[in-house]
Chains A and B, each alone.
Chain A
Amino acid sequence: MLDKLISSMEKAFRSYRLYEARGPQYEAHVREMASQAALVTEQGPAFLTVTPHGLQTNMERSSEEEDLNRTWFDLFEQGARQIVFTTGIESREVREMLQIVASDQAEGDDILTALWRRELKHIQVVVARTLVRGVGANRSTQDTLEAQYGHWRNLLAPDAKTSDKQVQLSPDDLRVLAVESEPLLWCVDCVEPPPSSVDSPLFEAQTDDLDTFLGFLGDMSREDCDHVLSHLIGSYARLGLTDKINQLMAAAEAHPALGGWSIQRMLNAAGGIDALIPLIEAGPMAFRESLSAMASVDSAMMEELLSKIETETIRDEVESLVITQESAPLAFHSARLSSPDLAEQMESVQALFDLGTEEATYLAIEGCGSFHVEVRAYTLTRMEPIYEPPMRNSMTRLFRDKEESIRIQVYRFIKENGERHFLREALALAKDGYFGRRSEEEQWDVIQALSTHGNLPPINLFFCGVAASGSLWTSEHMLRIQHEAIRVLGKFPTPDGLHTLKKLSRKLVGAKELREAARVQLEKMERAPKSRPSGPDGAQS
């Protein structure tokens, strides 16, 4: 399994460079690597050894003949010795790791320190950074100290002239002691306290550092401020700190301390749109504010950005992020209909209905397809008073909704509205063999919807069948339905209905009260003034 993980890592790293960290192929490789890491860590951590020749498992022996591997060689050269994956790894962490390790770093950037600082929860890179001390056979303490000083001086400013400084140190300076003997030997075996969990609120209130920092930029000259900001956003982009980039870019146009900094300038400092696309593709939501700001000040730039995003779903997501309620209310609310958040969906359905235009209304009724039952119920409530035949598909969807409460609401609408199409649907439902499996409440609402329109011949005929179908063992619920059928046949007289009632009133078997009810209906019909039987179209006088 570790071999598969290694192979998926190789692919992801190659893909990062080949596809510049974007596009469906790169995305597939990232997910594959995350999946393989999740698989191998299911039962505990997985350890991979970094060698100049590539990644190896602990069991594997390093092969001298193997070719050197550019990616792992660079990482090894920087001091990485082991990569440890632990249970719970996410694609996001894989992306962050790739962004730091595989991207082009600025001169002097320390990849491993950047990775270490990021504190990825499930990926650790173990570093063997060595400290060097020459044991000079013929070298005096003075020479050694000057060499050490020179070493640091060279590290800090490689281009500076070599110092001719004579290091003057007192004998009990630690540097002297460290060269001449083994200092602090007396505390070599002191015991460390057992690790304890930290429960201190001391540094909790330091979350919005960048905002505070931007406020202080006013203390600097314009030139210094530009210098600091250019490097800062460049660092954020290289290290993949998307939330910081978003914060800076969103503030660019409005923050008083950032006067003169346009979004375009921020983008240039970050390495241009191309440098940001991989980060945007990895998580468009992180750029929500900055993309909105970009769209409102420079639509051409936004178009350019969208044209460069290869994956369609991500392009759609970005598009939905950049629209605002004010600039494009239809698009804004329509996009929010697919938001997972119930409140957002509800708010947008309501807003679209309230707009009152035909276009908005037809976008709003897409709420019928929401996975939140509350949104579907609300959409139905708003649809009922304005229902028109073109809305039939959405209403049909609700008629077949998986929630009983929604279906019942639709039957009540049918009862009131009398739409022939839905009456036919309701009739088919009532005749269906599975109708009896629906709850009694639902069955009753379907019957009610039909009985209100019992003048229609197919429905009337259906009730003839229902009325005649009684037996000794009929349940109370069925009796109630049959009573309703008898009532309908009495209320909307037809030849078939009359025949059914007569037959029922003379029936020797079955429920006595049904016979009685049929007789009562026949008597009522006889007492009533002669009326013309219903015509073929069901119209009643």
Chain B
Amino acid sequence: MSRKAAIQQFGNQLVMDLQVYLRSLHTHQANNDIVSRARDALLKTLQDHFKTEPQSTLQVQLLDEETFINNTLLPIALQDFGRIKELTRQLRGMGVGEVIFDASVTRESLAEFATAVYSGMHSRQQMEPRVFSGIQALELEYSASGSSERDAHQVVVWLFSGLLDGLDGLRDLVAEGHVPTMVPFMRHMRLLVDLTVERGTVIRHLCLARREGGSVDDPIHQNACRTFLAVQIAHANGLDRAGLMSLGLASILDLVTSGAEPDEVLTRLAPYTTLSDLAPQVMMVLRELEMVRRGRRAGHQGALLHLIEELVSTVHGEEPATLEDVHSQLGWAGGVDTAVLDAVLAWLGDPPLGAIAQSRSMGDVLLLDHGEDGETLRCREIFEDGLGEATVLHDFQEHKPVVFGSQIDFAYEEPDEDDWA
């Protein structure tokens, strides 16, 4: 049995034991035999695990539609689904979405935990206390894409952050000799494409905002920025979903093929069978990318990735770059068809959103968006302690340089709605 299957089997057992134990409290007192037997069964399941892995923890996350154990999705059996759903709803009602066990769990701590659950269940209040010997009962935040404006923004950040972790994991696993599955990245690309439509401007700001000193030494960050921007620019130029997913996956898999000769690219990617029907497109884009990097002419998707790579490396260089620097860097890229260059420059715009420009009245301003009508340039004034309110930019100083100096950690406080009352 694979490690994943083993943890899934164990996870199902643990979650069911937990459900039976907490369920028994509905109808019986804590000292009842039935409750005691259910508690002992749960304890035995936990002890069996900790006997072999005493240093580990067991993290159970309960969502409305998914249950994870140690970040592994549990395939809940059809007949158990209703019971797990009930457990999730019961715990969520008292503010618990995640339960973590470690080897110090005892019969007594399980009883204390049950008492707290019993009390929360009947008082209909948040569970208190939450920490017991070997048991933590924690809140769990989760969000679905597209649920609201606010959520969509949050999901963009999580998506980007998730991709950074994913890329990190991919690089490490490949170095260890594994062939990671691409399925999680495919799901990630699906969300990204959907969010590109909903919150494209936020994605743009996220990718152009700099860290202190840039990210020259951080290929993971640069790869994530390139992946996000490539999907956005290709979407703006009409690439279909399958094409966008291939392009995004190609950008990610560049971590595996970067530096290979074009003729070797297919061989390096041959083991990645989870690319499924997208394999030809992904392989060819990466082949094209390696050709363009060598100054040879190639297809538009490879050229697009290369240009965005140049854009990202310039914007996230050691010092903030000007718009002129970016234009000049992109103009020097060899092997790129003019149509691709024009598409990137058209998307970037002049002045580009996400950059810092000069206003006659406000000084430095961050170019924020094009307003409701899509034509009115809006900005936020940059103060020493953070950013100001969004306002229309009437006095843009065209002769002053536009700099890609936006910061990922800009301070900003949303106005209190009462102030407007």
A: residues with CB less than 8 A from B are: 52, 64, 68, 70, 73, 76-77, 79, 108-110, 112-114, 116-119, 127-139, 147-160, 163, 165, 167, 170, 172-175, 177-178, 183-196, 198-203, 205-206, 209-210, 212-213, 216-217, 219-221, 224-225, 227-228, 231-232, 235-236, 239, 241, 244
Contact = CB atoms under 8 A, between A and B. Distances in A.
A216 B266 contact: yes
Nearest to B206: A184
Interface in B237-293: 237-243, 245, 263-264, 266-267, 270-271, 273-274, 276-277, 279-281, 283-284, 287
Contact of B201 (A64, A172, A193, A216): A193
**8 smallest beta-carbon distances between A and B, as pairs:** A158-B4, A186-B412, A156-B180, A151-B71, A198-B238, A213-B280, A224-B270, A231-B273
Contacts of A136: 138
Given A173-B164, A193-B374, 7 more contacts: A73-B81, A132-B140, A134-B61, A153-B173, A160-B176, A174-B408, A198-B237
Nearest to B76: A77
Contacts of B42: none
A111 to B, nearest CB: 11
29 contacts: A68-B79, A68-B82, A77-B75, A77-B76, A110-B183, A130-B143, A131-B155, A133-B142, A134-B98, A134-B141, A137-B139, A149-B169, A153-B169, A155-B166, A156-B184, A159-B2, A160-B176, A173-B221, A189-B414, A191-B378, A199-B238, A203-B238, A203-B243, A203-B301, A216-B287, A217-B266, A227-B273, A231-B279, A244-B277
B136 A137 contact: yes
Given A159-B2, A219-B267, A117 B65 contact: no
A143 to B, nearest CB: 10
Contact of A133 (B141, B267, B287): B141
A236 B278 CA distance: 10
A157 B266 contact: no
B157 A191 contact: no
A109 B276 contact: yes
Of A76, A132, A150, most buried by chain B (CB within 10 Å of CB) is A132
A129 B277 CA distance: 22
Interface of B: 2-4, 59, 61, 63, 65-66, 68, 70-72, 75-76, 78-79, 81-82, 98, 130-131, 136, 138-145, 149-150, 153, 155-162, 164-166, 168-170, 172-173, 176, 178-181, 183-184, 186-187, 190-191, 197-202, 205-206, 209, 211-212, 221, 234, 236-243, 245, 263-264, 266-267, 270-271, 273-274, 276-277, 279-281, 283-284, 287, 299-301, 339-340, 343, 366, 368-374, 378, 380, 386-387, 390, 407-414
Contacts of B143: 130-131
B370 A206 contact: no
Contact of A174 (B161, B201, B237): B161
A534 B280 CA distance: 86
Please indicate which of the listed interface residues A114, A127, A134, A150 has the most CB atoms of chain B within 10 Å of its own CB. Answer: A134
B144 A130 contact: yes
Contact of A117 (B245, B273, B409): B245
B262 to A, nearest CB: 8
A134 B138 contact: yes
B270 A135 contact: no
A534 to B, nearest CB: 81
Contacts of B386: 186
A187 B202 contact: yes
A58 B184 CA distance: 31
A52 B64 CA distance: 12
B65 to A, nearest CB: 7
A190 B390 contact: yes
Contact of B63 (A108, A130, A152): A130
A79 B65 CA distance: 8
A52 B168 CA distance: 35
A165 B409 contact: no
A202 B201 CA distance: 22
A113 B138 contact: no
A154 B7 CA distance: 11
A195 B287 CA distance: 33
B71 A183 contact: no
Given A108-B183, A175-B165, A52 B266 contact: no
Given A119-B241, A232-B280, A188 B180 contact: no
A135 B141 contact: yes
A458 B377 CA distance: 96
A154 B72 contact: yes
A94 to B, nearest CB: 20
B209 A184 contact: yes
A217 to B, nearest CB: 7
Nearest to B165: A152
Nearest to B234: A203
B96 to A, nearest CB: 11
B157 to A, nearest CB: 5
Contacts of A133: 140-142, 158
B300 A134 contact: no
Nearest to A126: B146
Contact of B138 (A135, A219, A241): A135
Given A117-B242, A154-B71, A191-B370, A185 B414 contact: yes
Contact of A185 (B139, B149, B412): B412
Contacts of B75: 77
A192 B328 CA distance: 28
Contact of B374 (A73, A194, A221, A236): A194
Nearest to B203: A187
Contact of A209 (B78, B140, B284, B343): B284
Contact of B409 (A70, A108, A152, A183): A183
B284 A213 contact: yes
A193 B373 CA distance: 7
Contacts of A119: 240-242
Contact of B237 (A203, A209, A213): A203
Contacts of B206: 174, 184, 187
A220 B268 CA distance: 9
A206 B240 CA distance: 11
A224 B270 CA distance: 6
Contact of A219 (B65, B81, B263): B263
B310 to A, nearest CB: 17
Nearest to A137: B138
Nearest to A165: B172
Contacts of A158: 2-4, 72
Nearest to A163: B172
Nearest to B342: A202
A209 B278 CA distance: 11
B240 A210 contact: no
Contacts of B273: 227-228, 231
A118 B245 CA distance: 11
Given A190-B205, A239-B277, A131 B374 contact: no
B178 A157 contact: yes
Contact of A110 (B3, B160, B186, B239): B186
Contact of A232 (B168, B201, B279, B343): B279
B368 A187 contact: yes
Contacts of A210: 280
A131 B159 contact: yes
B153 to A, nearest CB: 5
A410 to B, nearest CB: 55
A260 B293 CA distance: 34
